[in-house]
Amino acid sequence: MKVDLHCHTDASDGVLTPLDLLSRARANSVDLLAITDHDTVKGLQSLTKLDTGSIRLINGIEFSCHWQNKEIHVVGLNFELEEPKLIKFIQSQQELRKQRAIRIGEKLEKIGYMDTYSAACINGKTESPGRPHFAEALVQMGVVSNQKKAFHRLLGDGKSGHCKHEWPNVSEIIQRIHAAGGKTVLAHPSRYTISDRQLEQMISDFADLGGDAIEVISGRQNPLVTQKLAKLSVGHQLSASVGSDFHRPGQPWADLGCCVPLPSQCTSIWADWIA
Ligand code: AMP
Ligand code: MN
Ligand code: MN
Ligand code: MN
């Protein structure tokens, strides 16, 4: 079975529309798919009335939150899409994103790059654009030659256009997803800039707070990393998830639905959903 439980549409910082993403999933023979846009379910909502054929679509979202004052991402899966408290909370995350984006625009203005907030809004088709939409604006303005450089020079952690942000704590995210009937997955554990000891602490805390799974497979990763994460998931009695973190065709890490299978010792987060 081909599973991909982490990807993005143009409802956040992906480039494909939800319909085009589904077509790509079909072309890549995906059986189980979760669309997990950053702090929004808008893409997903546009598909609720659609017959997705052989693809089983799982409700998903990727929440921005804090663990020990570090920004981390938690994927929520298989929650009730219409749950009023969750919908309201997602609106508050969008408002936080908007306030952050305005501040990023102000910071960039101070160092001479004007009107990036409005350009980012146009790029993201939203008032709450993400950093990739600012990166795109900086490329369009000729400030940098590509988005990676925009993050490296201006938008990455600690750079002059970066805003430290007051995201909710990871515990709140776990509680809110559970209250809407969903499961919680620590996203791309190996992508945070932390030591191995901190990584183990993060996973241990996530388990203690009631988190359900970690992404043992994220995009294309070193098999040694996969082994390490499989061991941590088993050791902390967490289930395991798989996600490409697909944003756009041609991205260097993994195409939609094109991840390696979970190591055999892992318990998949989706085992109960397909029974
Ligand atoms: P945001 O959610 O607005 O904080 O933006 C984070 C998103 O930016 C991530 O989900 C990635 O899609 C993208 N991103 C993060 N770091 C980089 C980077 N170094 N180069 C390009 N894109 C990045
Ligand atoms: Mn992203
Ligand atoms: Mn992420
Ligand atoms: Mn993602």
Which CATH number characterizes residue 253's domain? 3.20.20.140
Q: Report CA(271)–ligand 4 centroid distance (Å).
A: 22
269 CB-near residues (< 8 Å, 6+ apart): 5, 77, 183, 185, 212, 213, 239, 240, 241
DSSP 169: B
Q: Indicate which ligand has the atom closest to the C-alpha of 129.
A: 1
Residues 264 and 259: their CA atoms lie apart, in Å, by 15
- What atom of ligand 1 comes closest to residue 130's alpha carbon? 3
Number of domains present in the structure of the chain? 2
Choose which residue among 6, 9, 12, 13 to substitute to test ligand 1 binding: the one with the highest number of ligand atoms within 8 A of its C-beta: 13
Residues 130, 156, single domain; the answer is yes
- For residue 93, the model assigns a pLDDT of 97
Ligand 3 mean position, distance from CA 209 (Å): 20
Cα 37 to middle of ligand 2, angstroms: 8
DSSP assigned state of 168: P
Are 125 and 243 within one domain? no
59 three-class SS: coil
Indicate if 208 and 266 belong to the same structural domain.
yes
Closest C-alpha residue for ligand 1 atom 8: 132
Closest CA to 124 of 244, 249, 15: 15
* CB atoms closer than 10 angstroms to residue 22: 22
Residues 138 and 20 in one domain: no
CA dist., res. 62 & res. 103, Å (int): 22
CATH for 111: 1.10.150.650
How many other β-carbons are positioned within 10 Å of the β-carbon of residue 48? 11
Nearest CA to ligand 1 atom 20: 148
Closest atom of ligand 1 relative to the 97 alpha carbon: 3
Tokens (6 digits) for 250: 């041609």
What is this structure's pTM? 0.97
Q: How far is the CA of 229 from the centre of ligand 1 (A)?
A: 22
Distance 114 CA to ligand 1 centre (A): 21
Residue of 164, 274, 180, 219 whose CA lies nearest to 6? 219
Predicted local confidence at residue 275, as pLDDT: 73
Half-sphere exposure of 60 (CA within 13 A, CB side): 30
Specify whether the CB–CB gap between 39 and 11 falls below 8 A. no
- Of 147, 180, 213, the last residue of a domain is 180
Give the chain's length: 275
- Give the β-pairing of 60-67 and 70-77: antiparallel
- CA quadruple 115, 119, 125, 131: dihedral, nearest 10: -90
**213 and 236 share a domain?**
yes
What sign results for the dihedral spanned by CA atoms 196, 199, 205, 211?
negative
CA distance 201 to 94: 29
Ligand 2 geometric centre to CA of 275 (Å): 31
Of all atoms in ligand 1, which is nearest to the CA of residue 71?
A: 4
Q: Are residues 131 and 157 in the same domain?
A: yes
pLDDT at res. 164: 82
pLDDT of the chain along its 275 residues, tens only?
Answer: 999 999 999 999 999 999 999 999 999 999 999 999 999 999 999 999 999 999 999 999 999 999 999 999 999 999 999 999 999 999 999 999 999 999 999 999 999 999 999 999 999 999 999 999 999 999 999 999 999 999 999 999 889 999 887 899 999 999 999 999 999 999 999 999 999 999 999 999 999 999 999 999 999 999 999 999 999 999 999 999 999 999 999 999 999 999 999 999 999 999 999 87
Same domain, 187 and 113: no
- Of 134, 159, 180, which closes a domain? 180
Tell me, yes or no, whether 198 and 74 share the same domain.
yes
Residues with CB under 6 A from ligand 1: 13, 38, 64, 130-132, 147-148, 151, 156, 247
Q: Are 71 and 57 in contact (CB under 8 A)?
A: no
pLDDT the model gives residue 214:
98
What confidence score (pLDDT) does residue 166 get?
Answer: 85
Chain CA centroid to CA 154, Å: 21
**Which of the ligands is closest to the CA of residue 61?**
4
Cβ < 5 A residues, ion ligand 3? 73, 187
Domain region containing 228: 3-78+182-273
